[in-house]
Structure 1
């Protein structure tokens, strides 16, 4: 037997029994601390006696050792350290609970990944005597279980913007690796907080591992496309001094590079200028576009006349600076000649003559000149008379019309 066990001895062959340990029944149960011989004296019905001896061999127990207690992080595993001493020196091991061990029949088994503290018991069996002993070790699980929370700094972005992904791990061993992927495919990373710039709405997946366990989660980043921005007209040409109206569309607010913040602006540039508008839509996404206003030079218009004129003379008007001309004058007069003439002038033609000069770009300028037509005087040399040969007479010249301030010139002056 093994030390600490009992053995039952049963004698037969008589009617009464006396054992060496004082027992007086056919069967006795003994628990010797060491190997012991037991003798029984048997008496039959006739009073005759006989003796017999049996030996109970006591085998020493092995001493089991389950190792020292341990503390491990939540979700991790460890190796148990079993040992034994005493007995024959040849042992077998059986650990429990077997369900939380990779193998329960080896000396030093590995546990499964533990989430609760567990007491393990090892039973050591002496392979020669079959005697056993047990010992217990406690594995304490500290901390929480491995967990993962995935966030993004901005779950809705505009195309062209970036946002940071955040894999927030806790529990487990506290030492983590990261594997990121995406749908649509194309993104990968091995850091905890990568920055992404998707062009379409994308779901990002991350798996963390603490060396023993894994956890996975995902987050979606919505990508809002930029507004489609236009300016009407896309480009235009104006003459210097004219206005241009530009109208932007495609958003809810507008900001021009000239400081305006309305959808339409009216500008009067004096040189060719490009105007840029930034348009923001209801999702706060923005886009820009441009429109160029080309400024064309105006002609340098000139006008003149060769007056003043006396009535009856021809009026000569002159202009320059363009490719086409349009004259307007008193009494509804007009002409499209560059240098028109007006025959047989009279005082009703006095006044301002304006010419609109147009250059090859279609730009115009106006110039004017004042025409003065003086009324010619009416002269009267007097009545014809007869005089005596060799005598003289006085000529009586008179004038009317005109300004009234006259000078007279007679001919032939040799006879005056």
Structure 2
């Protein structure tokens, strides 16, 4: 076929016209004519745009495409499936001009197959609509999760799932699913024809030695270059820029997979990409790498194109498959119209290669009546030659005919692994294939050679090889000559023996060196014995494994436990178990108390016996701490006796702690040693001694009072006394303190005895004349009682003779008496001045002599004197403070004078004469119905007061307060007449004239 390097070519104009007709008929477009600008063939068939069938798409792919990263300025059309495996922007600048199905927006992403969602974010479709032919595995949303109209998205599931196709328009969801909008097969049939046509153009331009291109104006410039030549170029520089009338076609001849580091292209800009076409007409695959920018359209209709470069493509990509992994596609559609052939008929059919046994389809590209050399008259035929065959096709139209040939090369590779082989059993043989691209043996191995050692009498081995994409096979038989010998495996227990017998014909040799058919062995471990029999030049070997069953059993390492803990001992699995404890289970639980305990197990495994032992060491830390007693407010030191780290319940970690509890408290201490603990407790008993003297009390001056402490073991009064009760007769208000002991504890209480002092003052003695009236005025009390019977503070008297007047005053329950002498002066020689002497202090019961002066006769009086004593000197004894008064008279005178002396009594050792006593008090266990009797023996008539007090000293009731006659008298007390007493212990206080006594009684209302 002739070639022309000028703008005109010898390719029939019918070639492209036919391709265009096929394409347009098969697309079945439904598009708006007013919005679609698609380049069609020139009606005159003089020229056409070779990329017009790509419809202006930036990337136009026949089969599958993977879109990873980067972006495309223009639309993308894919004839097969689309895989999303990154994030990429599509139609960043323009949606193109293809409006389908009456849409308001151009279809900027057309996927004739389905979308495969791999990873990443997916596609951001910046302009236009999306069309997907197969929605299997896809879901279309034009409403968001709130059911509000939103920009459409196509996802693998829910609304927010990624990767996805995000349309930046509100495309109706029902407009997404459309297939066969473009007839990709017809389009690529035309592309293949034009690619082949261009490859046959003669070159009319060469690249200069300085890597410059100088274009010839107003013609198609053609450069023919091999792949290696292209790779050798460091860069390209254009002396002048291509344009619509001065296009450049670069035919790249590379029939193998091609990797191209894009070089820099200088002298032209991005826009010149519309006038340059890189025609890769025979490359199986093209990989773009590096950072350079490819200016022009990459026209590779039969190539798989992978863009790994970070640079851009300023043009279209037309490819069989396309994998976009970086950089950008700038939307510069190829514009020039390249002349078609001038003759009226032509035909093109492409050569093909097949493997023997396969078939292929030959397609005649041209317009007219078709006749194949096979006699068939269809545009395409399917052939399956068994050898390389040339098929011719003739097309006839309007008296013009054209013929082309296609060579169908039948690749029938051959492989050989040699002739059949004879070997002895146990021998190895290496089988080697003739050289190929790939190997697969029937054994599964994939190397050129394999080594085999078959055991069967005949073994066959097959190989399947791949040579230039075709498969060839071969087989070989390996015959195995095999004398036979057998010897049986045996099992024995350790220490036993076994007899091995070889069965076979020939001379024998055991691995032990023996040559008899039978041997006896006693191995100590499992041993393999082999026997070799030799016959006819071949040998046979068999082996017998004598398994020495030496079962092992383990119950683990020695164990340390704490006293009181349990541990489970578990044997390894066996058939039977017997422990030293007599148990027969696999596991036993023990809790030994001795410091070391051993346990043994005997097991049976497969008829043999094994034993094991384990020691269990028992760790038993000890700790002791003693109970203690403390008095309230005191402290105790607790000491833990033992070895190890110490932790008290108080949180302290020292061996000894000091505690001061306010109540009885239990303290625990834990000692830890070797992972074991011991605990002991100490009770610190808080002993709280108590004592009460009762409420403060008031007494009259000179009155005795009994102070009673609550019951205790010992008593110590501030007076020095050590009894539970004491009798005091304070001269002034005083405090008394008692300290008691209960066990080792002490308690104290204090009582205040208020002494109410009343002093009666009847005034000074006075002298009046006979017949004169005088006023006597007393003071010192709240109430007054005169010896005249009057009860006023002042009285008037008119005595005839000298007279003594007495007044008794009362205040705060106490009373005192004073006298005043009114002397009637009838004779001044009768003036009398009485003198009773100074006050005297004596011991209780001690006798003292009182002597008066100042007159001729004397009359003594006192509360303790019954009657009148007329001696000048008297001898008296008292048990309490007593005032003695003496009246002094002169013979021959009617008047008298008085004076007083005070005997003060104090408690002295050995004091008292014991004449006043209580004979008996009975009963002392009473209730509210009891009548109690007191036998009194008194030396004189006197006032007796009997009162009941609780243990605090509080007065519960005054039982008796009256005068009792001298001598023996029984006083009855009826408790039913007294205020109700609660059960308990009470003190009965009996007070007489200068003496007192305290008796304890118990009130028990349950007593009958």
Report Cα offsets for 1:9-54 as digits up to 9, x if no partner: xxxxxxxxxxxxxxxxxxxxxxxxxxxxxxxxxxxxxxxxxxxxxx
Residues 304, 317 of structure 1: 8 Å contact kept:
no
Work out the CA distance in 2 between the residues paired with 1:412 and 1:100: 162
Residues 324, 338 of structure 1: 8 Å contact kept:
no
| Number of the residue aligned with 2:542 | 138
| Number of the residue aligned with 2:661 | 268
Residues 73, 141 of structure 1: 8 Å contact kept:
no
Q: Secondary structure at the match of 2:775?
A: coil
Report Cα offsets for 1:77-107 as digits up to 9, x if no partner: 987565569xxxxxxx997539699x9666x
Q: Secondary structure at the match of 1:156?
A: strand
| Number of the residue aligned with 1:97 | 510
Report Cα offsets for 1:287-346 as digits up to 9, x if no partner: 223333445564452335652432xx03414224214563544xxx33223331234x32
1:223/1:413 Cα in 2 relative to 1: closer, same or farther (>3 Å)? closer
User: How does the TM-score come out when normalised to structure 2?
Assistant: 0.25
Deviation for aligned residue 1:138: 1.7
| Number of the residue aligned with 1:67 | 486
Residues 72, 139 of structure 1: 8 Å contact kept:
no
**Is 1:160 the equivalent of 2:160?**
no
Work out the CA distance in 1 between the residues paired with 2:485 and 2:558: 53
1:325/1:262 Cα in 2 relative to 1: closer, same or farther (>3 Å)? same
Q: Map 1:118-137; keep pairs closer than 5 Å.
A: 118-121=529-532, 136-137=540-541
| Number of the residue aligned with 2:739 | 356
| Number of the residue aligned with 1:286 | 677
| Number of the residue aligned with 1:38 | none
**Is 1:366 the equivalent of 2:780?**
no
| Number of the residue aligned with 1:227 | 621
**Partner of residue 117 from structure 1, selected from 528, 532, 535:** 528
Residues 707, 726 of structure 2: 8 Å contact kept:
yes
Deviation for aligned residue 1:370: 1.1
| Number of the residue aligned with 1:340 | 726
Work out the CA distance in 2 between the residues paired with 1:136 and 1:340: 128
Deviation for aligned residue 1:412: 1.9
Report Cα offsets for 1:149-175 as digits up to 9, x if no partner: 85746643333334455766xxxxxx8
| Number of the residue aligned with 2:710 | 321
Residues 306, 315 of structure 1: 8 Å contact kept:
no
Work out the CA distance in 1 between the residues paired with 2:498 and 2:754: 121
Deviation for aligned residue 1:392: 1.1
**Partner of residue 773 from structure 2, selected from 392, 412, 415:** 392
Deviation for aligned residue 1:385: 0.8
Report Cα offsets for 1:245-266 as digits up to 9, x if no partner: 4322103323345655443352
Deviation for aligned residue 1:112: 4.6
Q: Map 1:291-306; keep pairs closer than 5 Å.
A: 291-296=682-687, 298-299=689-690, 301-304=692-695, 306=697
Structure 2 gaps, min length 5:
1-482, 797-1008
| Number of the residue aligned with 1:247 | 639
1:72/1:152 Cα in 2 relative to 1: closer, same or farther (>3 Å)? closer
Work out the CA distance in 2 between the residues paired with 1:208 and 1:99: 33
Residues 238, 296 of structure 1: 8 Å contact kept:
yes
Work out the CA distance in 1 between the residues paired with 2:507 and 2:563: 63
1:291/1:396 Cα in 2 relative to 1: closer, same or farther (>3 Å)? closer
Deviation for aligned residue 1:231: 1.0
Residues 562, 676 of structure 2: 8 Å contact kept:
yes
| Number of the residue aligned with 1:412 | 788
1:213/1:118 Cα in 2 relative to 1: closer, same or farther (>3 Å)? farther
1:153/1:321 Cα in 2 relative to 1: closer, same or farther (>3 Å)? farther
| Number of the residue aligned with 1:200 | 595
1:394/1:221 Cα in 2 relative to 1: closer, same or farther (>3 Å)? closer
Q: Secondary structure at the match of 1:287?
A: strand
Deviation for aligned residue 1:268: 1.9
Moved more, 209-218 or 156-165: 209-218
Q: Secondary structure at the match of 2:486?
A: coil
1:322/1:241 Cα in 2 relative to 1: closer, same or farther (>3 Å)? farther
Residues 512, 529 of structure 2: 8 Å contact kept:
no
Residues 511, 529 of structure 2: 8 Å contact kept:
no
1:206/1:323 Cα in 2 relative to 1: closer, same or farther (>3 Å)? closer
Q: Secondary structure at the match of 1:337?
A: coil
Moved more, 71-80 or 191-200: 71-80
Work out the CA distance in 2 between the residues paired with 1:164 and 1:94: 59
Work out the CA distance in 2 between the residues paired with 1:269 and 1:340: 32
Residues 576, 605 of structure 2: 8 Å contact kept:
no
Residues 493, 608 of structure 2: 8 Å contact kept:
no
Residues 531, 542 of structure 2: 8 Å contact kept:
yes
Report how many aligned residue pairs link the two structures: 307
Q: Secondary structure at the match of 1:227?
A: coil
User: How does the TM-score come out when normalised to structure 1?
Assistant: 0.53
Asked which structure has the greater RCO (Cα within 8 Å, sep 6+), the reply is 1
Larger radius of gyration: 2
1:269/1:79 Cα in 2 relative to 1: closer, same or farther (>3 Å)? farther
1:66/1:209 Cα in 2 relative to 1: closer, same or farther (>3 Å)? farther
Deviation for aligned residue 1:111: 5.8
Work out the CA distance in 1 between the residues paired with 2:589 and 2:725: 75
Report Cα offsets for 1:197-231 as digits up to 9, x if no partner: 4433345556676548776665544333x123211
Deviation for aligned residue 1:353: 1.6
Residues 316, 339 of structure 1: 8 Å contact kept:
no
Deviation for aligned residue 1:146: 5.7
Q: Secondary structure at the match of 1:335?
A: coil
